[in-house]
Structure 1
Amino acid sequence: MTVQKGILKRKNLITLVGGILIVVAYGAKFGFSNMAIFEIALIIASVIGAAPIAIQAYQALKVRVVSIDVLVTMAVAGAFLIREFEESAIVTFLFLFGAYLEQRTLNKTRSAIKELTEMAPESALKMMENGEFEEVGVEEVEVGDRLLVKTGAKVPVDGTVLSGEGHINEASITGESIPVEKEAGTGVYAGTILENGTLQIVADRVGEDTTFGRIIELVEEAQDSKSEAERFIDKFSKYYTPAVLALAIIVWLFTRDLPLAITILVLGCPGALVIGVPVSNVAGIGNGARHGVLLKGSEVIHDFSRVDALVFDKTGTLTVGNPKVADESVYGSSSLDIRGYTASVEKESDHPLAKAVVEYLGDTARYAVEKTQVVKGGGIVAQVDGHQVAVGNAALMAQEKVVMSDEALADIARMEKSGDSLVLTAVDGKLHGLLGIRDQIRPRVKEDLKKLKKMGVKHLIVLSGDHQGTVDLVAKELGLTEAHGHMLPEDKSAYIEKLQAQGKIVAFVGDGVNDSPSLARADIGIAMGNGTDVAIETSDVVLMNSDFSRLPHALGLTKATARNMRQNILIAVGVVLTLLASLFLSEWMNMSIGMLVHEASILVVILNGMRLLNYRSTKPVQA
């Protein structure tokens, strides 16, 4: 066993020595007409070259698999027996050299994993009991530990900034090279680099639980998974290789031409067929990882490439998920500081709409707020600057019997028609302020949706729990084909099932816990990377940093990868059929030429697959 391992470990050295011996052999023959050296060099090259191939064939037969190595071993042994040392030496060298090129190129396609792993932090500056920071291995850091990150250092964990300011390069997580400003209260990711400043952070997630750790795990699992095409190739090879062996035996029985039968064994090797699909899969997943798209397996590539219906959640997916004030109207006396009253009251609330109002009003003057009364589902009523102030929705205004002018009623109707959520401010029973708040549509989403249409997605559908009017407005602005509001999580899942029953291949894009049933139900679940852990774990594809613009790249990449797989299968099958046809229909085809073409075809499918590493999504579509 030790000898076998030693030989296999030195396979590349054996390939080099075999190549040198073949050069020496031909030098002796054509340079010195020394046939003895010519024959001896080729015999040695054949024997040492056949050793690792024969060992691999034996290992395959032990598990009842008739592999390519079995075919080549039998071909080389047959050539050796009929004293075709030239053929046997060249065949072994080409086979080993092809395996070397194959492994070298596959390692390049797996560079995304290597790059990610090398980016993983190895140490951290941890605060000890005496208050001093000491360098420890990252595996010694636990949740809750306080850590120091200096300029140029890698952030060791997912955490929250406690103190300090700086700019962090988050390219390893988001794919974006522009540094992001960090200050107290902001989150940081393991594997990112602090370009300037000094930060103290508290560890929220460590080790494999960090975002960076999950990315590595997901990509590794994806590259190791097998697609439908790969499983087909595995089954095909299982029966194809014995079939070639049987064909060679039948030819020998009928023709008694041993060289012909041996040549069939060499020409029938399905090497390019076996390697063509995996190299496309690995390169495609590697490209996605480098561009902020995590594809969880080659089966995902197969299904995603055929998607014809994309279903979107609205909030946090098509929209930013962060409501902003979009419209403002002020009525009545200018002597009242309506903006200051509104900001002061809304400061008392943690409702998302209240936060949007406070952010919008900014540095407006603040007043003391007294006798605060929170009206559930309505808003807040309080005493401000000697006035009775009510801030909330239309229901609260009706409850407080607030008087509204015709102008205000018209503005309310207009804002509601625009899909705005309303925040009204009444002072002493009269309406004085009106704010329209809406969730902003993500930048460039309309352009990205146009790209998706051009890629063959026929149905673009939004499902949301919001009012139908709001959903309709979003759909109209973005050019979606369908819009459905008032949808609970179970309604969304049921609607996806309905689409699937109609024969559509459905992908669902969402970001929240309530999206998890739909992500699981769809043929392809796509999670926004800043979404919940549940959504990310349930999904098949993750768009890092919740960047919607990565979606066209993801779809285009899967289509290109699936197309690349089909190309490699056609190349591989075409080469084998051409070689076998040439063997029977021409006189120039022989074992050495056949093996050379065979190894060249392996290199061709590998290089074809590697093109995916440079794939870029389509150019921007004009609005």
Structure 2
Amino acid sequence: MKFQRWIQHHTNQITGITAGLIILGFIGRFTGQTWLDTSAFILASIIAATLIIIRAWEALRVKTISIELLVSIAVIGAFVIREFDESAIVTFLFLFGTFLEEKTLARTRKSIKSLTEMAPTTAQVLQEDGSTKETDVDFVDEGDVVLVKTGAQVPVDGKIISGSGYLNEASVTGESKLVTKHLGELVYSGTMVDNGTIQVEATKVGDDTTFAKIIELVEDAQDTKSHVEKFIDRFSTYYTPAVLILALLVGIFFRDFKLAITVLVLGCPGALVIGAPVSNVAGIGNGAKNGVLIKGGEVVDTFSKVDTLVFDKTGTLTKGKTEVASIQTYEDDHALSYAAAMEHESDHPLGRAIVNYVTDHALPTTGITVNAINTIKGQGMVAEVDGHHVAVGNQTLINAENIILNNNQQQTLATVQHQGGSTVLVAVDGTLEAIIGIADVIRDGVKEDLRQLKTMGIKRLVMLTGDNDLTARAVGSQLGIDEVHANLLPEDKVTFVKQLQKENHTVAFVGDGINDSPSIATADIGIAMGGGTDVAVETSDIVLMQSSFGELIHAYGLAKKTVRNTRENIIIAIGTVAFLLIGLIFGYIYMASGMFVHEASILVVVLNAMRLIRYAPKATTATQSSVKQIKSPLIIN
């Protein structure tokens, strides 16, 4: 047992010694030193074959007929017929091919290694006396407060309870753009504080953190086999014994022992066995590096066949929060500031949207005095603002104030309402001064992203939402959605997904990973715009960590490219076998040269798969869509 472990541990050194002995053997042959020629090749064969035979025996112990068994029998046969140079070259090529294969495979798993290396190991835990103590991250408990300074990693998932900073969240989202984090906001383990100092109360530690789950998910995914891999596994179970039987029959029928041994060497299915797994490993690794978590080779295979994308609206196609979408102002430039001053203490979503807009655009609100504010249920509010009578609310309130809209104003109001947004009207001293459209704003660039998905092979885009029909159709029309279904409960969405599947569509459902979990689970592929949430990671097949449609495009293109790459590898493998068999029939392929071609084919499929590591979808020029603007200084979509 110790000898086996030692020899396995020194595989590279054994390969190097074998190469040196082969060179020494050829030197002996060319210099006429027969004893050196023979002894060097024999010694090289024995040293290399020992390692191969050990591997073959270990496989046989678990009832597996491996490639190593075929090579072992071939080497023993070569010894019997005294083809020592052939046996030495065959064993060296096999070991050297394995060495190169492991090196190249290691590169395909580089994304996992880099993720693991990003994992924080220690944390600065705040003590009761205000000091900090460096603690192994495994010993940090939920509720502990950790101090994270500029240049340090966040060691836990938690909430900022003091300070603020700019964080690089590339390890979680794949996006290297800095994100500003303030008091009360969540931060994730493995992210980096680029500038600032924060105190974080731990809510998840150790293996429960989002970063740890990402690493575990990607590692598990790379070990999950696709349909093609499962088929090849079944195929090789029968193929390898068949090669042994074929070699035996060749030896008996042709009475040519050397030919039978050569059949064993040429029959090794190495490139075929490794072609599919290495493509999936490389593809899934690429996704992890770019913020796309794909749960296994089977998911890759199925996603590549998707022809119908079904979307939830809120939080998926839209940002999931109400914002000012359009503004039409008239004579009084202070109307928005007056409205914001009145809404400042309001908790109503429409009022908060107005306040946020005014704050974001630095419109003046300081020094404005609001008196005699009166909230009218279901209509809005009126108040005295800096000596002016101001009304902020819906059309019913404006009518109650006896304010008449002219034709242009009525047309503007109708346009905003037709676009599916809520409207807030602002009147000052009996005159309408602003029409504000507020809506759940569509994500930037979604229209162009959906168009690109169609050019990549998606045939049907469907939106299912619980929102009202007018708003849903307005969003669907702006984005070019093929089908829109509104006023749906979660179970209604599931029914629609099942109906699409009955129509022989391969369906992917894209949702927020929480309210849409039944549909995500029902679809052929469930995709969560997850932002790293637990529910998203656990319930879906694919998680888009940054919740962006750019990641969706990357995931779909990557799936198609990975499946195509797998097929290329299978063609290479089958083509190699055909070439070797034809070469054997016509006499231009021998044992050593056949083994060389065999090992070369393995390297070719590995190198071909490694192209997936650098995959990126072709960028398209996104043009910003616009909403019709009448006199407004700003319209946001």
Give TM-score, length-normalised by structure 2: 0.91
What code does the residue aligned with 1:315 have?
Answer: T
1:432 Cα offset (Å): 7.0
Aligned match of 2:627: none
Structure 2 residue 32 is matched with structure 1 residue 33: yes
Cα pair distance change 1:10/1:370, threshold 3 Å:
farther
Question: C-alpha offsets along residues 221-258 of structure 1, whole Å, 9 cap, x if unaligned?
Answer: 11111111110110010000000001011111111111
Does the residue aligned with 1:165 lie in a helix, a strand or coil?
strand
Is 1:109 the counterpart of 2:108 in the alignment? yes
Aligned to 2:591: 591
Q: Which AA in structure 1 matches 2:587?
A: E
Gaps (5+ residues) in structure 1? none
Deviation at 1:393, TM superposition (A): 4.6
Q: Which residue of 2 aligns with 1:578?
A: 579
- 2:95 matched to which residue of 1? 96
**SS of 2:549's equivalent?**
coil
Aligned pair count?
615
Contact 1:402 1:430 in 2 (8 A): no
Give the match's secondary structure for 1:514: coil
Q: Which amino acid aligns with 2:465?
A: S
Judged with a 3 Å threshold, the aligned counterparts in structure 2 of structure 1 residues 228 and 195 are, in CA distance, closer, same or farther, namely same
Using the TM superposition, name which of 606-615 and 540-549 deviates more.
Answer: 540-549
Aligned counterparts of 2:435 and 2:29: Cα–Cα separation in 1: 98
Q: CA deviation at 1:38?
A: 0.9
- Return the offset for 1:459: 0.6
Structure 2's unaligned 5+ residue stretches are 624-637
Alignment match, 1:135: 134
Question: Distance between the aligned counterparts of 1:129 and 1:164, measured in 2?
Answer: 18
| 1:75 matches 2:46 | no
Contact kept in structure 2, 1:556 and 1:617, CA below 8 Å? yes
2 CA distance for matches of 1:329 and 1:605? Answer: 61
**Could you say what secondary structure the match of 2:462 adopts?**
strand
Distance in 2 (CA, whole Å) between partners of 1:76 and 1:250 is 18
Q: Which moved more, 1:344-353 or 1:281-290?
A: 344-353
Indicate conservation of the 8 Å contact 1:369/1:382, yes or no: no
Q: Is the 8 A contact 1:381 1:388 kept in 2?
A: no
2: distance between equivalents of 1:383 and 1:250? 100
- 1:43 matched to 2:39? The reply is no
**Alpha-carbon distance in 2 for matches of 1:219, 1:516:** 21
Contact residue 561 and residue 612 of structure 1 kept, 8 A: yes
- Cα distance between partner residues in 2 of 1:373 and 1:218: 52
**Rounded Cα–Cα distance in structure 2 between residues aligned with 1:374 and 1:99:** 78
Residue 61 (structure 2) pairs with residue 65 (structure 1): no
Query: Counterpart of 2:612?
Result: 612
Aligned twin of 1:222:
221
Letter in 1 for 2:6: G
Instruction: Note if contact 2:513-2:520 (Cα within 8 Å) is conserved in structure 1.
Output: no
Note if contact 1:317-1:528 (Cα within 8 Å) is conserved in structure 2. yes
Give the CA deviation at 1:72: 0.7
Deviations 1:397-444 (A, max 9, x none): 49x955452436554333211211123457899977642102222222
Other-structure match for 2:316: 317
Identity %: 53
**Compared CA separation, residues 241 and 436, structure 1 to 2 (3 A):** same
Q: Which moved more, 1:165-174 or 1:544-553?
A: 165-174
| 1:340 Cα offset (Å) | 5.1
Equivalences for residues 257-336 of structure 1 within 5 A: 257-328=256-327
**1:547 partnered with 2:544:** no
Secondary structure of 1:513's aligned partner:
coil
Find the aligned partners of 2:375 and 2:54 in 1 and give their Cα distance.
Answer: 83
- Alignment partner of 1:343 out of 325, 334, 340: 340
Any conservation in 2 of the 1:138–1:207 contact (CA below 8 Å)? yes
Deviation at 1:544, TM superposition (A): 1.7
Q: 1:252, 1:258 within 8 Å by CA — same for their partners in 2?
A: yes
Q: Residue type matched to 2:601 in 1?
A: S
Q: Hey, what's the Cα distance between the residues in 1 that align with 2:533 and 2:172?
A: 16
Q: Secondary structure at the match of 2:515?
A: helix
Mapping for residues 161-560 of structure 1, pairs under 5 Å: 161-328=160-327, 339=336, 342-362=339-359, 363-365=364-366, 367=369, 375=377, 378=378, 392-393=393-394, 397=397, 401=400, 403-407=402-406, 409-424=410-425, 434-530=435-531, 532-560=533-561
Structure-2 residue corresponding to 1:151: 150
Q: 2:247 & 2:113 partners in 1: Cα distance? A: 43
